[in-house]
């Protein structure tokens, strides 16, 4: 390894951390050796530091390719507060600022330059970069490079040319979500000209509790679900722009400060809303699933999906925005039969070729298996990424295991009704027949004369909807997309009808409200603040907000909640003790120690 300053010294003095998180040291040392690499790390696992620290220690300029303007700007703001020269160039960077950035590069001052993939694909920019001493090129959110990734972006495909164009710079890709197929595709492009190492740190986020609930009156249900989080921040995901607007309005009517955030808003409005989310401690953002928010914020306490995400990779990426400070957080997913039907339709009606569509259907099947699993949800989720784990003891399935019952007769009865009615009707009509409800439609069509009419009269309609959803998820029935959602026998129907396949379903009344779980065993959360320190912590947060407004930056960029909690526990009264607080480095100590020590001194007695 070249003669660089000790990484642990830089970690402490610059970034303010006492030690590396699991997996960080090996990646940092690999980059310092100039090796190509792909790093898959859980959201909140500290992947940004893995390339920022080598960028500071190495000679030359580090390029960071990022797809999100907000994320670039936030990281640059954080780095500058640490005393690190960094800048971002994107569509929102004015001409004067670009000139100042290029001059700092020529002067050899700038250490990290963040660029969007669209800009890096420009021949003019690449020609300018050809004349620069590039030490490393970092591709953040590198799953966007792969056609098998959950968020493929065509502009990322051009990045596969970087290794050949800049052979002296090491190439490193970072992501929180990449299954085996996605990783193989990324490796084939980034490592085509020079071999690279692959680091898969693991996907477990033990501080996040997972829950899946049947969707019933979605906006009303959502208000009940997030009531325990009133006064805290969260993200609610909806599938359409229209739904984000209506859901945000429903939350405001219930007294929550809430805004809608989607790609249909102009850039100025989006920036204003993002600034509010980064500064206001209780704002709830309702966002479209497909629109990445670029939030690098540690204290988001909940993420709720009111609509089904596209696959488990997207789901994992989106829930990963919660609890980055390691403190307990919740991820709640609501879904119903129509969500599955809509996701199938979105795949089938897309412009992708048939091979890609088959892969997307398989990935949706994996997501449905997660939603309907009778076992630990965390085990199912981690298993999808190839990681073995024991029961988490913190998800809804671990805390309230379902009682599965043999339901072969019910499945066969439903399949019989589907065939008897010509495979032309959807879930609602078929359930009316099973329950013996002589609606006008049932009576007009003569379906009240079927042998199965009233066969499940004693079953609650919600239970039957849950049963149909489970049978759909397991492949016993499927939806005819072209037939306006009509049910028909699925790929496993023959085995069920013949009795070869046993069917066990959860026929209990589905909960529509999440039960609060205990904190995950083995959580990586920071030590809880003792009651005696709570008043001091509130005072430190007030001072942090005061400073943030003075410098016009989000509060968490000054200090994270975890740093303030450690400060409230240790109560440092001199600079040496202040430097011992986790998350306080030399630069921030010089900037803020006097004011925070003075505030702590007010509580010394």
Taken in order of first residue, the domains within the chain and their CATH numbers are: 7-200 (3.40.50.300), 208-399 (3.40.50.300), 404-506 (1.10.10.10), 531-601 (1.10.150.80)
* Paired tokens of 165: 């164009």
Q: What is the pLDDT of residue 204?
A: 86
Compute the 3-state secondary structure of the chain and give helix, strand, coil in percent, each to the nearest 5.
50, 15, 40
Phi, psi of 234 (to 5 degrees): -160, 170
149-164: average pLDDT: 75
Least trusted range by pLDDT, from 109-118, 121-130, 307-316, 588-597: 121-130
Say if CB 207 and CB 328 are below 8 A apart: yes
Q: What is the pLDDT of residue 142?
A: 87
Q: What is the pLDDT of residue 230?
A: 94
Dist. CA 603–CA 599, nearest whole Å? 7
Residue 482 has a pLDDT of 61
Q: Quote the DSSP letter at residue 12.
A: I
pLDDT-based confidence at residue 139 (cuts at 50, 70, 90): very high
pLDDT digits (tens, 9 = 90+) for 321-346: 898 878 899 999 998 888 888 888 88
**pLDDT at residue 30 is higher than 80:** yes
What lies within 8 Å, CB to CB, of 512 at 6+ separation is: 213, 214, 216, 221, 224
| 368-422 residue pLDDT tens | 889 988 889 999 998 888 888 889 999 999 998 988 899 999 999 999 999 999 9
The C-alpha atoms of residue 358 and residue 492 are separated, in whole angstroms, by 18
Top mean pLDDT of 291-295, 312-316, 400-404, 439-443 is at: 439-443
Q: Mean per-residue pLDDT for 473-495?
A: 83
pLDDT tens-digit map of 39-51: 998 877 788 999 9
Distance CA 71, CA 463 (A): 43
Q: 522 pLDDT band (50/70/90 cuts)?
A: very low
Mean pLDDT of the residues in the chain: 86
Cα 567 from chain centroid (whole Å): 29
C-alpha 72: how far from its chain's center?
17
Which pLDDT band holds residue 193 (cuts at 50, 70, 90)?
confident
Q: Are strands 486-489 and 477-480 parallel, antiparallel or unpaired?
A: antiparallel
Helix (H), strand (E) at residue 74: helix 69-81
Q: Give the span between the Cα atoms of 105 and 2, in whole angstroms.
A: 23
pTM: 0.75
Residue 89: closest CA among 99, 102, 98, 78:
98
DSSP output for 540-595: HHHHHHHHHHHHTS-HHHH--HHHHHHHHHH---SHHHHHTSTT--HHHHHHHHHH
**Ranges 521-525, 545-549, 576-580: which has the least confidence:** 521-525
Contact assessment for residue 286 and residue 236, using Cβ atoms and an 8 Å cutoff: yes
Lowest mean pLDDT among 193-207, 284-298, 410-424, 485-499: 284-298
Provide the pLDDT confidence category of residue 221 given band limits of 50, 70 and 90. Answer: very high
The answer to whether residues 117 and 156 touch, using CB atoms and an 8 Å cutoff, is yes
Share of the chain above pLDDT 90, in %: 42
Q: What is the pLDDT of residue 4?
A: 54
Residues 160-170: tens digit of each pLDDT: 778 888 888 89
Confidence of residue 159 (pLDDT cuts 50, 70, 90): confident
pLDDT at position 5: 64
Tens-digit pLDDT profile for residues 340-379: 888 888 888 888 888 888 888 888 888 988 998 888 999 9
pLDDT of residue 182: 83
């Amino acid at each position: 390894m070249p003669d660089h300053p000790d990484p642990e010294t830089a970690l402490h003095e610059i970034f303010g951390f006492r030690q590396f998180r699991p997996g960080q040291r090996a990646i940092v040392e690999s980059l310092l050796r100039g090796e190509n690499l792909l790093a898959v790390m859980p959201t909140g696992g500290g992947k940004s530091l893995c390339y920022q620290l080598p960028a500071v220690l190495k000679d030359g300029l580090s390029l960071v390719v990022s797809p999100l303007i907000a994320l670039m700007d936030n990281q640059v703001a954080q780095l500058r507060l640490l005393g690190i020269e960094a800048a971002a160039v994107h569509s929102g960077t004015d001409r004067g600022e670009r000139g100042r950035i290029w001059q700092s590069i020529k002067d050899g001052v700038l250490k990290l330059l963040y660029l969007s993939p669209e800009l890096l694909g420009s021949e003019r920019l690449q020609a300018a970069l050809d004349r620069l001493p590039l030490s490393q090129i970092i591709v953040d959110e590198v799953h966007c490079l792969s056609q098998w990734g959950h968020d493929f972006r065509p502009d990322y495909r051009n990045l596969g040319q970087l290794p050949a164009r800049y052979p002296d710079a090491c190439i490193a890709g970072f992501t929180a979500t990449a299954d085996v197929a996605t990783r193989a595709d990324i490796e084939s492009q980034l490592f085509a000209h020079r071999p690279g190492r692959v680091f898969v740190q693991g996907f477990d986020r033990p501080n996040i509790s997972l829950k899946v609930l049947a969707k019933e009156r979605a906006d009303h249900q959502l208000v009940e679900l997030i009531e325990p989080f009133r006064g805290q921040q969260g993200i609610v995901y909806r599938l359409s722009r229209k739904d984000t607007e209506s859901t945000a309005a429903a939350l405001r009517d219930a007294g929550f400060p809430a805004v809608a955030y989607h790609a249909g808003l102009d850039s100025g409005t989006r920036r204003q809303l993002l600034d509010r989310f980064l500064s206001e401690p209780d704002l709830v953002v309702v966002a479209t699933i497909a629109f990445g928010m670029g939030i690098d914020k540690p204290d988001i306490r909940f993420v709720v999906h009111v609509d089904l995400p596209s696959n488990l990779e997207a789901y994992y990426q989106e829930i990963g925005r919660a609890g980055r400070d390691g403190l307990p957080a919740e991820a709640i997913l609501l879904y119903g039969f129509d969500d599955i039907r809509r996701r199938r339709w979105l795949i089938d009606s897309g412009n992708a070729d048939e091979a890609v569509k088959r892969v997307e259907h398989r990935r949706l099947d994996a997501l449905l298996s997660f939603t309907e699993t009778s076992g630990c949800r965390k085990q199912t989720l981690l298993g999808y990424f190839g990681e073995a784990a024991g029961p988490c003891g913190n998800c809804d399935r671990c805390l309230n295991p379902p009682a599965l019952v043999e339901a072969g007769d019910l499945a066969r009865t439903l399949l019989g009704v589907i065939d008897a009615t010509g495979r032309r009707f959807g879930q609602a009509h078929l359930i009316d027949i099973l329950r013996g409800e002589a609606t006008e439609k049932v009576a007009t069509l003569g379906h009240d004369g079927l042998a199965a009419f009233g066969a499940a009269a004693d079953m609650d309609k919600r239970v039957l909807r849950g049963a149909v959803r489970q049978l759909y998820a397991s492949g016993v029935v499927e939806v005819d997309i072209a037939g306006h959602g009509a049910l028909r026998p699925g790929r496993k129907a023959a085995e069920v009808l013949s009795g070869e396949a046993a069917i066990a379903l959860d026929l209990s009344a589905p909960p529509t409200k999440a039960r609060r779980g205990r904190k995950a065993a083995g959580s990586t959360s920071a030590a809880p603040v003792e009651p005696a320190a709570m008043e001091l912590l509130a005072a430190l947060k007030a001072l942090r907000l005061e400073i943030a407004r003075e410098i016009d930056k989000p509060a968490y960029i000054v200090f994270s909640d975890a740093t303030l909690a450690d400060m409230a526990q240790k109560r440092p009264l001199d600079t040496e003790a202040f430097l011992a607080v986790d998350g306080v480095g030399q630069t921030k100590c010089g900037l803020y120690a006097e004011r925070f020590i003075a505030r702590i001194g007010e509580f010394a007695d």
